[in-house]
């Protein structure tokens, strides 16, 4: 966890530098009168941090955790390749079936349908795919994670699903024997201590195979107990940097 500690500290310090260098002037007299300059600065800083928390913190932290368990652990990986047009048609068909509730999500069956069409026509099309947020591989097992915000928009689930299927199609086109998995990962459960509200995704994602939330995601990457250790590490960094953080925001009093 020492590398993760240093990573977190560097992210916060870089944010401090960027906040001062790129801060746009914003005259908010009512907010300032009510909250004070320091609290308003803190709010703006947190908002700035949240906008790219996934790429600056969750992805690199995920890579560090996964290195202990996987042979390959990388972030922002391109899996672009030429895919048979019949595969793309089959993916569109799967999405249409899910959208109209003709079929329920079944990742194993969907993968087999893709495999059946891999070389069906011989007519391939270059497809520009979304980069894989977190790519992990051990032997012939490949895991691709699409890291999402804690409360993703319900209307986006079908596009999430399309991305997951196209990632699998791309990998299987390059290596038909790969044991491929594509998963939506949500870093924490915003409903805690209640269970995550998975029903909103149930008609689109295969919940058992395409979704990992909070503790199950981090423990999958780094092994049992990783989530607990990760929270402890975040807390330790906050304590160790408390004086540094307080001094930064004193400038705005």
Encode 46-78 in three state secondary structure: HHHHHHCHHHHHHHHHHHHHHCCCCCEEEEEEC
Phi, psi of 153 (to 5 degrees): -65, 130
* Residues facing residue 134 across a β-bridge: 75, 145
Confidence grade of residue 230 (pLDDT, cut at 50, 70, 90): very high
* CA-based R_g, the chain, Å: 21
Average pLDDT of 167-173? Answer: 97
CA distance 59 to 151: 18
- pLDDT the model gives residue 31: 82
Residue 21 has pLDDT above 80, yes or no: no
- pLDDT the model gives residue 116: 96
Q: Tokens standing for 215?
A: 């503790």
The average confidence (pLDDT) of the chain is 91
- pLDDT the model gives residue 6: 95
Helical (H) or strand (E) element with 44: helix 37-51
CA distance 147 to 6: 22
User: What region, left, alpha or beta, does residue 181 occupy, with left being phi > 0 and alpha being psi -120 to 50 degrees?
Assistant: beta
- pLDDT the model gives residue 155: 66
For residue 190, give the nearest of 214, 174, 169 by alpha carbon.
214
Residue 90 has pLDDT above 90, yes or no: yes
Give the least confident one: 13-27, 152-166, 235-249: 13-27
Task: Look up residue 198 and give its DSSP letter.
Answer: G
- pLDDT the model gives residue 157: 86
Q: Which residue has the tokens 């992210």?
A: 11
């Amino acid at each position: 966890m020492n590398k993760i500690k240093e990573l977190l500290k560097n992210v916060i310090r870089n944010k401090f530098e960027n906040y001062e260098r790129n801060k746009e002037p914003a005259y908010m007299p009512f907010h300032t009168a009510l909250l004070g300059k320091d609290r308003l600065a803190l709010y703006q800083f947190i908002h700035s941090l949240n906008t790219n928390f996934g790429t600056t913190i969750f992805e690199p932290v995920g890579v560090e955790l996964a290195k202990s368990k996987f042979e390959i652990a990388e972030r922002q990986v391109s899996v672009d390749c030429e895919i048979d047009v019949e595969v793309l048609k089959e993916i569109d068909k799967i999405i249409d079936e899910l959208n109209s509730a003709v079929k329920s999500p079944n990742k194993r069956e969907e993968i087999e349908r893709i495999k059946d069409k891999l070389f069906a026509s011989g007519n391939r099309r270059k497809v520009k795919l979304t980069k894989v947020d977190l790519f992990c591989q051990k032997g012939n097992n490949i895991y691709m994670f699409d890291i999402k915000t804690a409360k993703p928009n319900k209307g986006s689930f079908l596009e999430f699903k399309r991305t997951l299927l196209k990632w699998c199609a791309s990998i299987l086109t390059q290596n038909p024997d790969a044991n491929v998995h594509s998963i939506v990962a949500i870093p924490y459960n915003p409903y805690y201590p209640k269970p995550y509200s998975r029903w909103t995704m149930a008609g689109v994602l295969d919940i058992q195979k395409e979704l990992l939330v909070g503790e199950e995601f981090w423990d999958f990457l780094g092994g049992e107990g990783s989530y607990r250790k990760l929270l402890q590490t975040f807390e330790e960094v906050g304590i160790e940097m408390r004086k540094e953080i307080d001094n930064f925001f004193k400038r705005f009093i």
